Structure 1
Amino acid sequence: MIWQQTNGLFLQRFDQLGERSWREDFSYKLIFSPTGKGRYQTKFGDMSIEEGAFLLMNPTAPHKQLHAFQEKFLVELHPFFIQEAAAELSIHAPVEFAEVSYKHPLFLQWLSFVRGYLTDHQDQSSDLLLDHALTQLAVLMVEYGAGSHQVDLPVSRYSDPIRQLMAVLKEGYTTGWTLDDMAVAAQVNKYQLAHWFKRETGLAPYSWLQLYRLIRSQPDLLYTTESILTLALKHGFSSVSSYHALFKKMYGKTPTQLRRSYQHP
């Protein structure tokens, strides 16, 4: 089923979940995996979306659905609608989301409500509630979605232990953390920490830290002339090559390419 709205659409289907063609849609997308085992291919490789996790995709980003288990659920939003939401939040930079699968409680709350509503209203092609839901989603994506417009990673609504650990990691994000160090800070063993953190965020603790380092580096990258080497080391990366590799994985471009795109829109 497809529910077409003024500023985007909802798609929910339970068949034809195997491999499909390459797409480069002119819209932002939220792809949700309700039951896990979602797999998509991008020009930089395959990406898995675990149960309860989602992926945000940018307009014209090439992607191909390889597999969705039991249900496919996605939402498309027109680019101008996302930019309007960004302007309302006093964000005037272009919004480009990092290509990473993760979880966030506010998104899960929104998705639970909307999927339940659509299940109960299969015959509705247009509805004011769905238009309002798209507005809510646009704000969530801009405010909480990891992307080039961010200067921080908001951690509200995670459980207290997760938020407390994230706060400690943020405070010392340039430090050379190991999983053992994180486990000491969280006061659990490292195996419990790895399971607990991944279950709630969709990311391994070190992956979350690396993403946070990347996000914190972005203002220096976009609004200063510091060398890529200087800002990579300044923000906790062990080398410029590790920074470069993560950046390419998240945005499909190098730090220098993103810097140039902001300087010359």
Structure 2
Amino acid sequence: MIYQDENGLLLLRSDKLGERDWRSDHTYKLIFGSKGGGMYQTRHQYLTIGQRQFVIFNPLQEHRQLHMSGEKFLIELDQKLLKDASVGLGVTGREMEFAAVSYYHPQIDRWACFIRELIGWNSEKPAEANQLLVENSFTQLAILMVQYGLGKHQGTMPEVVQDEVLKLVTDAIKQSYEQDWTLDGMAEVARINKYQFAHLFKERTGISPYSWLQLYRLIRSQPDLIYTDETVLQIAMAHGFKNVSAYTRLFKKVYGATPSEFRTTNRFN
């Protein structure tokens, strides 16, 4: 089933879940793992979407579906809607560009589950009921994407952890993210076994503790690329990366551009 208006489109389907052709257009796309998740590919990486996780593709970002399990839940949003949401939230000066990362956030999860359930509940009612529901939900999703979507507009990792123990760890990491954190060190702050900690962290955020740390370092490095004349090497080392190669590989994987290319594109935007 498809619902759409001038602001976007919502697609729910249980067929054509296998490999599809490459796609790109002028909309933002959020793909939600509503049932069993799945896998997508960009020109730079493979993205596994876990159940109740999501990924956001930017306008003109080439991607293709490799498979989805059980159901495909796709939302396309017009660029102007995201722009209006960002201006309304005080995020100005740069175009919205999201990181190619699959992760979990409780607010976006609640939105997706709520919309998905209501569409099911209204299946026996006139189509206008769901159409009205979906049309009015696009603005809500745009606001949530600006607030909680990982991307170059963020100055930090969006708050996601609702567990007090894990929040203690993420707060500690933020205060000294440049240091050489290990899983043992994180678990020590949490005061639980490191294997329990790693499992709990992945369950609550959708990504591993180390991946969270590296993404946080990358996000914190972005202003230095845009607003300073420090070298890429200096920026990488200042933000906790062991070498410039690791920094460049992660940047390319997440944004499809090297730090130098990112700096050139965003320097005067």
TM over 0.5, yes or no? yes
TM-score (normalised: structure 2): 0.94
Cα separation, 1, equivalents of 2:207 and 2:249: 18
Distance 2:163 2:136 in 1: 28
Residue matched to 1:250: 254
Rounded to whole Å, the distance in 2 between the matches of 1:54 and 1:36 is 12
Matches within 5 A, 1:2-21: 2-21=2-21
Asked if residue 182 in structure 1 is aligned to residue 195 in structure 2, the reply is: no
Cα distance per residue 1:7-52 (max 9 Å; x no partner): 1010000112111111012110110112334011111132111111
Shift of 1:59: 0.5
Distance in 2 (alpha carbons) for counterparts of 1:53 and 1:239: 30
The answer to whether 1:162 aligns with 2:173 is: no
In 1, Cα distance between equivalents of 2:70 and 2:85? 32
CA distance in 1, matches of 2:166, 2:36: 22
1:236 aligns with 2:237: no
- 1:107 is matched with 108
Q: In the alignment, residue 45 of structure 1 is paired with which amino acid?
A: Q
Moved beyond 6 Å, runs of 4+: none
SS in 2 for 1:153: coil
Matches within 5 A, 1:17-166: 17-92=17-92, 93-122=94-123, 123-124=126-127, 127-156=131-160, 158-166=162-170
Gaps of 5+ in 1: none
Contact 2:150-2:158 at 8 Å conserved across structures: no
| Contact map agreement 1:179 1:190 (CA 8 A) in 2 | yes
CA shift, 1:102, in A, is 0.4
Percentage of pairs with the same residue: 47
Say if 1:53 and 1:101, in contact at 8 Å, map to a contact too: yes
Q: Which amino acid aligns with 1:204?
A: S
CA contact under 8 A between 1:49 and 1:101: conserved in structure 2? yes
Shift of the alpha carbon at 1:96? 0.5
Amino acid at match of 1:116: E
Gap runs ≥5 in structure 2: none
- The 2-side partners of 1:49 and 1:107 are apart by 14
CA distance in 1, matches of 2:27, 2:12: 17
Give the superposition deviation at 1:208. Answer: 0.3
Separation (CA, whole Å) in 2 of partners of 1:94 and 1:40: 24
Deviation at 1:156, TM superposition (A): 4.8
Residue identity matched to 2:224: D
Check whether the contact 1:183–1:189 (CA below 8 A) recurs between aligned residues: yes
- Hey, what's the Cα distance between the residues in 1 that align with 2:153 and 2:17? 33
Alpha-carbon distance between aligned partners in 1 of 2:37 and 2:160, rounded to the nearest angstrom:
27
Letter in 2 for 1:223: Y
**What RMSD, in angstroms, separates the aligned Cα atoms of the two structures?**
1.5
- TM-score w.r.t. structure 1 length? 0.96
